[in-house]
Amino acid sequence: MRLNSANINVMVKACRKASKPLIRDFGEVEKLQVSLKGPGDFVTNSDKKVERILINELQIARPNYSILSEEIGEINNDSTCKWIIDPIDGTANFLHGIPHFAISVGLEENNEIICGIIYDPIKDEMFIAEKGNGSYLNNQRMRVSSRSKLKDCVIFTGGPRQNAENKNIVLKEYNNFSSEVETPIRKMGSAALDMAYVAAGRCDGYWQRNLNYWDIAAGIIIVKEAGGFVTDFDGNSKYVENKTILATNAKIGDQMREILRK
C-alpha cells in the first residue's frame, strides 16, 4: 500500500523537486571544507533555495494555505490550514559534509498536524504519514519498536547549544539516561530524522529541549501513525508551547518521563 491522497502527492512532488538542487549543493560542500571562507554562506543560500522551491510548489497547489517556515517566517492566508516547513533539518551536518539531514514538511489543519513528510535526499528515504492512514517509509508500512525495557533501548537526543540557558539541565538529563541504558545515547544532529527513526523502529525513544515547531511538525504525525507517542516531558500535548518533545514507542514513555522528572 502507499499513501496517495491529494495533499500527500503535493508534498511528495514539492520535496522531490527541492531535493535536486540540494543534492547538487551537498556535492559541492566537501570541496568548500578546505577553503578559507568555508561553506557557511553557501549552505545558507542552499537553505533559502530549497525553501523557495518548496513554498512555490505548495502555493501553486494550495494558494490559500498559510505557511510557517524557518527562514521566511509566516505567510498568513487561510487560518485553518498551514504548511510547516524546515528546508534543511540538520544544517550543521550539511555544512560539514555529513550525509544526515532532511527536508521536513507538515500540514496543520485546525491546529492539528494531519500529514507529514520527512525526506532524506542522500539516502532517498521518504518517511510519510497521514492521519488515520498510517506511516510509511518508501511505501512500506512502518511501526515503532516493541522493546519494553529502557535498558535495552537505543535513545536519541540533541543539544544543548553552547549558549543555552538550560544547558546544565540538558546535561543532567543526558547523564541520567546514560546511567539507565546499556547502549550509549545517540546524537545524530537532525530532530526530524530522529523522530522518523523512532517511527521506523530504528530507535526506541527521543527527547529534546528548545526545538521550534518546524523541527518537529512532520515528525509528530509520523510517530503517532506508526503506533508511537508524542508528548511534552509531562505527558501532555504542549510540546510546541513548552519546547520539550518526547517521542517513544508504545512501551517506554512512562520510563523516560520518570527519568526526565529526576
Report the chain (262 residues): mean pLDDT per 10 consecutive residues. 87 97 87 57 83 97 95 88 96 90 97 97 98 96 97 94 86 95 96 98 97 96 98 94 95 97 90
Same-domain pairing of 127 and 251: no
- Give CA separation, 76 vs 63, 65, 72, 107, 130, in Å: 11, 8, 12, 14, 23
Same-domain pairing of 102 and 133: yes
Same-domain pairing of 108 and 154: no
Domain termination site, one of 141, 176, 203:
141
pLDDT of residue 36: 47
3-state secondary structure of 134: strand
Same-domain pairing of 22 and 126: yes
Q: pTM of the full predicted structure?
A: 0.94
Query: Counting Cβ atoms within 10 Å, is residue 71 exposed (0-12), middle (13-18) or buried (19+)?
Result: middle
pLDDT of residue 61: 96
Domain termination site, one of 118, 141, 164:
141
Same-domain pairing of 125 and 173: no
Residue 79 included in any domain:
yes
Domain termination site, one of 116, 141, 166:
141
Residue 1 included in any domain:
no
Same-domain pairing of 10 and 134: yes
List 115's β-bridge partners, or say none: 107, 130
Same-domain pairing of 111 and 34: yes
Domain count, the chain: 2
Residue 102 included in any domain:
yes
Q: What is the CATH number of the domain that holds 30?
A: 3.30.540.10
pLDDT of residue 40: 62
Residue 116 included in any domain:
yes
Same-domain pairing of 32 and 136: yes
Query: Counting Cβ atoms within 10 Å, is residue 3 exposed (0-12), middle (13-18) or buried (19+)?
Result: buried
Same-domain pairing of 222 and 251: yes
Same-domain pairing of 92 and 155: no
- The Cα angle at residue 117 between residues 164 and 88, in degrees rounded to 5: 45
Residue 129: give the domain boundaries.
Answer: 6-141
Dig out the grid coordinates for 124 from the structure: 532517498
CB contact set of 37 (below 8 Å; sequence gap of 6+):
none
3-state secondary structure of 103: strand
Q: What is the CATH number of the domain that holds 251?
A: 3.40.190.80
Same-domain pairing of 41 and 135: yes
pLDDT of residue 137: 97
Closest listed residue to residue 41, CA positions, set 30, 51, 53, 32: 32
Same-domain pairing of 16 and 135: yes
